[in-house]
Structure 1
Amino acid sequence: CLEPGTLPEPQLVASFLDLNAPVLARACLLLECAFFVNRCNRGEWPSWMKMNLPLPMQQAEHLTQASSQHIAISISGPAGANSDPID
């Protein structure tokens, strides 16, 4: 059983239209999804989603990693082309 405001797996949400479930069961699932979106729009995020939101420090670290990766890739191409093959 899910707590109110939590969302089931995306595959489950996508597949409930293909199931031969009663209309009432599908309507309840759609209502639960609508309730979840409504709570998020009001700023009442579930705790599991709050934990996954990036912090400003984590964002800065990711930007540094991305720029470092770009520099490393641009250096490794010419450096690898000029090296002697290992026999």
Structure 2
Amino acid sequence: MHALAATVVNTLVRAEDKAPEDKDVVAGWTAFWIFIGLIVAVVVIGIALTRSLRTAQKAKDAGVYGDGTSADATDADRTE
């Protein structure tokens, strides 16, 4: 009984399975604009990350985080 059902289903699937022609398969304009949008999003995130890292480096150099003097003191203790 199971073999008969499997055979019937397999026959129906093969009858319904029609592949599209090569000329009918296209990405379309929607996919193009999504791709462009993703590129723009990556660029914006990269710019924001660069600005944030520059700000953090300037703050570190200015001693805002407080590790500039303690790190120097720790290094001086190790060399002595």
TM-score bracket for this pair, using the shorter chain length: 0.3 to 0.5
Q: Which has the higher contact order (CA 8 A, sep 6+)?
A: 1
TM (norm. structure 2) is 0.38
Kindly indicate which of the two structures has a greater share of residues assigned to helix. 2
Larger Rg belongs to = 2
